[in-house]
Structure 1
Amino acid sequence: MAESAFEDLDTIVDNEEREELVKRVLELQGQLKGMINKVDTARNEHQSLLKENQLLQKYINNSLTSTAVFGATNGAVNSNNISLRQTDASSPH
């Protein structure tokens, strides 16, 4: 009879340990789900920013191309303006 009491005690301890382990596993699973959601959110934000950066780069390249085609405006200095100014300064008036 004493042996069965010890066996019952072992079973109770095993069940308590098992319950604690199950609780810990469920807690860790919840944390993992939270981390996965954060990673997914960061990945989506990264993709969005990457697309936005590509769009801005195209806009900048198109702006630079159109400026080169139509010439600099609003007092912007380009190589032609510099050479003209140097020629004007060196010529006697």
Structure 2
Amino acid sequence: MAEPSFEELDATTENTEREELIRRVLDLQSQLKVMLSRVDSARNDYKSLSTENQLLQKYINNSLTSTAVFGATNGAINSNNLSLHSPGNSPR
């Protein structure tokens, strides 16, 4: 049996390296697709949460506005009537 020549070994090594590079590129492409999918998912979550936050902010603003228009309820604290009293200082 004859030994392979240097050129044949070199060609075989190049083919093996090329195949390994192709496998690596395909693996990296697959990883990139997964990462892009995660980015898209995070972007959609952000949009959804942003919309929800805007809705909640409108609700809070409307609630505060309606409270100011109709007056505070019995359970609400009126900030204009608050005063700080320390235990040692009683109002005179």
| Short-chain TM bin | 0.7 to 0.9
Aligned-partner Cα distance in 2 for 1:79–1:18: 75
Q: Which sections of structure 1, spanning at least 5 residues, go unmatched?
A: 84-89
Aligned residue runs from structure 1 range 51-90, under 5 A: 51-78=51-78, 82=81
User: Which residue identity lines up with residue 33 of structure 2 in the other structure?
Assistant: K
Aligned-partner Cα distance in 2 for 1:37–1:79: 49
Instruction: Compute the TM-score of the two structures, normalised by the length of structure 2.
Output: 0.80
- Identity of counterpart residues, as a percentage? 68
Aligned-partner Cα distance in 1 for 2:48–2:63: 23
Cα gap change, 1:60 to 1:15, in 2 (>3 Å) = same
Cα gap change, 1:79 to 1:24, in 2 (>3 Å) = closer
Higher helix share: 1
Aligned-partner Cα distance in 2 for 1:47–1:27: 31
Q: 1:32 maps to what in 2?
A: 32
User: Which residue identity lines up with residue 36 of structure 2 in the other structure?
Assistant: I
Cα gap change, 1:44 to 1:14, in 2 (>3 Å) = same
Count of residue pairs brought into register by the alignment: 81
Aligned-partner Cα distance in 2 for 1:79–1:60: 18
Per-residue deviation, residues 10-69 of structure 1 (Å, max 9, x unmatched): 100000000000000000110011001001100100010000000000000000000000
State the SS of the aligned residue for 2:34: helix
Q: 2:47 maps to what in 1?
A: 47
Q: What's the Cα RMSD here? A: 2.1
Cα gap change, 1:20 to 1:79, in 2 (>3 Å) = closer
Moved over 3 A (4+): none
Q: Which sections of structure 2, spanning at least 5 residues, go unmatched?
A: 83-91
